[in-house]
Amino acid sequence: MNIEQKIKKFQNRFNKELGLYIDKKIKSSSKLSSITTETLRQLKVSLNGGKRLRPFLVDIGSRSGPKKVSNRDVLQVGMGIEVAHTSLLIHDDLIDNSSKRRGQPSYHVRANKIVKGRGRELAIVAGDYALVLMHELLNEVTSSPKQKHDAIKYLMDAFYLVGLGQAIDIALTDVRNIKRKNILELYEHKTAGYTVTAPLVAGAILAGASIKNQRSLAVYGMYTGIAFQIQDDMLDVFGSPKKTGKSLGRDISEGKPTLLFFEAVNRASVIDKKYLLSVHGKEIDSKALSCIKSIYKESGAYDVVSNYADELVLQAGRVLDRSNLSSKIKKDLCGLSEYIIRRAS
């Protein structure tokens, strides 16, 4: 069974449990009003889809120590992370004014049908509610008190950094003065920490993994998490909307400081650089997107960033080689890194 098949198998089991959990919440909310019920139904829609890599990583991490972690606890932690992730996506779509997510209208767009004209406000509430669900799910973990406490703390620290990363992302608007290290720090805080590192290490803590193994997983996660974000950036320009579920060129339109854009601006001709800066932060059409693609390719930015992602995966592999992790975990994580930078969505 290859890594994609393993992810798919885990995905099916996880989605079933998550569906049962949120259905119970929907049923209990019906005692209050039809508005609360529909708010949660739309939250369930937002929870649908996604690759479920974070819960899958909790599962891998939970096998890195001497203690047996129950499937129930793996799912509890995984569901907690996923509902928190959904909260971030709902709020992120509000910040970026994005109308689509995973191929369907964003929460605040759908919510306009529930409370006419106040979909944005309801989306904020739904995102906040999802964070409450995260705490409930994590508190129901049955591992030993210390390991439970340490795992939850590790996750909370990661989400704290996500918040700071989001603030940095909003503030980084002057692309002329941004440095490469600023972008990589943003990727580290906003994506790598909670997408790869935190789920892996939280699972490892629950399993009583050694500090050395926890550190190996953390460093592996940082390299792989940054590669994950780079691939997201590439897909935003060169991907297929049918597969990503999003319109192309959103990072440009929203003025995002991506590594791909940074490298292009610093490698392109004077004319091409001026063009890139002129369209950054503005809505672009298919003609403009085609022009941007050409500049990214011709300037060498595409190859530089793609090669950097490959190098990050190699570094992640070297970390695993030097670790005391089992050969099975090493194989799964190496396969996952390759999958992450080759994925089409």
Give the pLDDT band (50/70/90) at residue 102: confident
Q: When comparing pLDDT for 154 and 345, which is higher?
A: 154
Residue 232's pLDDT is: 95
| Consecutive H or E run containing 345 | none
Contact 202, 155 (CB under 8 A): yes
Cα–Cα distance between 339 and 11 in angstroms, integer? 15
What percent of the chain shows pLDDT beyond 70?
Answer: 100
CB atoms within 10 A of CB 294: 11
Cα–Cα distance between 289 and 55 in angstroms, integer? 35
Residues 148-172 pLDDT 10s: 999 999 999 999 999 999 998 888 8
Give the mean model confidence (pLDDT) for residues 317-326.
Answer: 97
DSSP letter, residue 143: S
Contact 188, 130 (CB under 8 A): no
Q: Burial, 44: exposed, middle or buried (Cβ in 10 Å; 0-12, 13-18, 19+)?
A: middle
Six-digit token pair at 151?
């795992």
Handedness of CA 127, 74, 23, 12 (dihedral sign): positive
Instruction: Please check the confidence at residue 191 and state whether its pLDDT lies above 80.
Output: yes
Give the DSSP letter string of 191-237. Answer: IIIIIIIHHHHHHHHHTT--HHHHHHHHHHHHHHHHHHHHHHHHHHH
Give the pLDDT band (50/70/90) at residue 21: very high
Residues 213-260 pLDDT 10s: 999 999 999 999 999 999 999 999 999 988 888 889 999 999 999 999
Cα–Cα distance between 41 and 113 in angstroms, integer? 13
- Name residue 96's amino acid: D
Q: Burial, 292: exposed, middle or buried (Cβ in 10 Å; 0-12, 13-18, 19+)?
A: buried
Residue 344's pLDDT is: 86
Contact 67, 114 (CB under 8 A): no
Instruction: Please check the confidence at residue 304 and state whether its pLDDT lies above 90.
Output: yes
Q: Which CATH architecture has domain 3-342?
A: Orthogonal Bundle (1.10)
Residue 242's pLDDT is: 86
Contact 343, 243 (CB under 8 A): no
Contact 327, 61 (CB under 8 A): no
Q: What value does the mean pLDDT of the chain take?
A: 95
